Amino acid sequence: MSDRVRVTVWNEFRHERHNAEVAKVYPEGIHRALQAGLSAYGFDIGTATLDEPEHGLTADRLNDTDVLVWWGHQAHDEVDDAIVERVQQRVLQGMGLIVLHSGHYSKIFRKLMGTSCALKWREADEKERLWVVKPSHPIAAGLPEYFELEREEMYGEHFDIPDPDELVFVSWFEGGEVFRSGATFSRGQGKIFYFRPGHETYPTYYNEPVLRVIANAVRWAASERGAAPFYGNAQPLEPIAGK
């Protein structure tokens, strides 16, 4: 891995081109807003979108990516299964994956989780309070014990995911619901983080605590792995001296 973490931000880039309300918030796309917001953290950041050849996720691009950030919503089914398989293999090999908001229902997240990843939701102008429930985790570095988003879409339990390796954030909404909004997983050699905020009609990805969480998650997902495993036909080990 290079000294600077190599990040690819993937976005459908459909809402921003076809919905005037979303275009007002993200005129150049959610991926460009995230690229700009995360650039202050010293990453090498590129972008890819659904309508590019191979969805912008060629083998070379993925091989040059330490952490992939994923935002999707209305076109999950348009993501080619072969590309999903390619991304999954890179995660198993050690590429980090940060899945944002409605990306919970993406093919890649469901494939890696092995569950429906279904939840309840309500699209309304509600306050979201995100509580840090594991303050010692690197993803929570530099945050207060909670932070608030004045307007967001509600996601509520039950969230059909496997039990997380670690739960970093829990959200509360004005309607009374709570949600496991920041959860980590490991698959193969790869680290995965799901982070809930980011409905396309709200300026969530300009919010500094939100950007800090994503930047912290990128660093965490790109951090050194453990011992490199070997798979396949193994030769006998050299005998221990003196035995």
Q: CA 128, CA 173: separation in Å to the nearest integer?
A: 5
Contact residues for 147 (Cβ-Cβ < 8 A; gap 6+): 129, 130, 209
The reported pLDDT for the residue numbered 40 is 93
**Does residue 215 belong to any structural domain of this protein?**
yes
Is residue 96 included in any domain, yes or no?
yes
pLDDT value of position 242:
67
Indicate if the alpha-carbon torsion angle 31, 33, 34, 40 is positive or negative: positive
The CATH number linked to 38 is: 3.40.50.880
Q: Is residue 62 assigned to a domain?
A: yes
pLDDT per residue of the chain (243 residues) written in tens, 0 to 9: 447 999 999 999 999 999 999 999 999 999 999 999 999 999 999 999 999 999 999 999 999 999 999 999 999 999 999 999 999 999 999 999 999 999 999 999 999 999 999 999 998 889 999 999 999 999 999 999 999 999 999 999 999 999 999 999 999 999 999 999 999 999 999 999 999 999 999 999 999 999 999 999 999 999 988 888 888 998 888 888 765
What local confidence, expressed as pLDDT, does residue 243 receive?
57
**Does residue 173 sit within a domain?**
no
Question: Is residue 46 in some structural domain?
Answer: yes
234 three-state secondary structure = coil
CA 168 to chain centre: 14
The pLDDT assigned to 1 comes to 40
Q: What range does the domain containing 71 cover? A: 6-114+182-222
Torsion, Cα of 39, 79, 120, 115 (10° steps):
-110
Report the run of H or E that residue 221 belongs to, with start and end: helix 208-222
Look at residue 78 and tell me if it is in a domain: yes
194 located within any domain: yes
> In the 8-state DSSP scheme, what is residue 25?
H
* Burial environment of residue 136 by CB neighbours within 10 A (0 to 12, 13 to 18, 19 or more): exposed
| Number of domains within the chain | 1
Closest-CA residue to 191 (of 9, 69, 39): 69
- At position 234, the amino acid (one-letter code) is A
N-to-C CA span, the chain: 39
Q: Of 153, 13, 131, which is closest to residue 70 (Cα–Cα)?
A: 13
Domain-located, residue 53: yes
What is the C-alpha separation between 45 and 218, in angstroms, rounded? 11
Using DSSP's 3-state secondary structure scheme, residue 83 falls into helix
- DSSP secondary structure code for residue 195 in this structure: E
Task: Supply φ then ψ for residue 212, to 5 degrees.
Answer: -65, -45
